[in-house]
Structure 1
């Protein structure tokens, strides 16, 4: 979206603002130029509408925990559901990052992706940690194993 519109991206995790809504509002809305895309990881903290050519993208993994007021059309013009990563999506992401359609680690990664809910952003984030495909894929395997361990602890 940002490339298409030729906008800058500011990726902000609003939890870093110590839950100070006044500071957050000043910084997000008034501190950034128009023609920017703003991304927030914690939807509940940002109850502001975009203005002056700004686009605010809200993301959450738990839409059911949000205040219903935030989901009304006057605050949000569009809702897009992003499913968890599938093996075919992983293959596309790996191709996009490294221009490879096969690696000996793909089978293990695909098996892990089938066992745990992982977002496309999490997979991309892990793959972006290195320009070396082997290093990134090994890091993704470790990340997926850790998610499985965390998931198993929550179920117990």
Structure 2
């Protein structure tokens, strides 16, 4: 998103913020073209009131007021992204229309999504292992985050990083497929297996450039 929108990214850790006043001060001081990320919102704040962790006291009402104020009073192009693994824990006041405008569930990685990741991380669009990856992705369930982890070059892989990273991904997928076959043979239900994987729901709030962002994520979801 940051590359697509040419925006700065701010990772906001609510448990490290002292109170609502500091929350407001930090966010208002972000650049006018920015993406503010609050991960695991269900764990970052006690959604029925306050959460006190080592002196931190940020309330749900304070968070709601911050969102309203940022969208209404601040100019520029600010996008707020929340992630959670437990949608049911979120307060209805936080997820209502007008507060969070887009809800996206990220599922498993398909080949088109993989190609986008390979282009972003390795700058490749054509490579011999791609067909093997395509074949494996049709049989193995893996999240985009797990794929991206395999495509991040290590220092030791500086030489011919694309080939080595893709080979590492192929090996990971093959190992996952072997584990799946073993569990099927033992009679375990692996059809909906998500152990070790994270499926997150992203919530977006965007006061402007709505159509541009919607177009971007619509194409992304089709690729997945």
TM-score of the superposed pair, with normalisation by structure 2 = 0.49
Instruction: Give CA-to-partner distance per residue, 1:58-104, whole Å, 9 cap, x none.
Output: 23344344333321123212223444211232134324533232323
Residue of structure 2 aligned with 1:38, choices 36, 39, 48: 36
Structure number with the bigger relative contact order (C-alpha 8 A, sep ≥ 6) is 2
Partner of 2:82: 58
Unaligned 5+ segments in structure 1 are none
CA distance in 2, matches of 1:72, 1:123: 32
Q: Find the counterpart in structure 2 of residue 133 from structure 1.
A: 162
The structure with the larger Rg is 2
Q: CA deviation at 1:57?
A: 1.4
> Counterpart in 1 of 2:18?
22
Separation in 1, partners of 2:132, 2:89: 35
- Distance (whole Å) between structure 2 residues aligned to residue 40 and residue 84 of structure 1: 22
Distance verdict in 2 for CA 1:36–1:4, change over 3 Å: same
Conserved? CA contact 1:9–1:36, under 8 Å: yes
User: Hey, what's the Cα distance between the residues in 2 that align with 1:84 and 1:27?
Assistant: 37
1:10-60 Cα deviation digits (max 9, x unpaired): 2x263xx6x244367257524533321112221223644161243211233
Contact 2:38/2:81 (8 A) holds in 1? yes
- CA separation of 1:4 and 1:88: change in aligned 2, threshold 3 A: closer
Q: How many residues align?
A: 149
2:82 matched to 1:84? no
Deviation at 1:3, TM superposition (A): 4.6
Contact 1:85/1:113, CA 8 A, preserved across alignment: no
Residue 38 of structure 2 contacts residue 82 of structure 2 at CA under 8 Å; is this kept in 1? yes
- TM-score of the aligned structures, taking structure 1 as reference length: 0.64
Gaps of 5+ in 2: 46-62, 180-189, 197-224
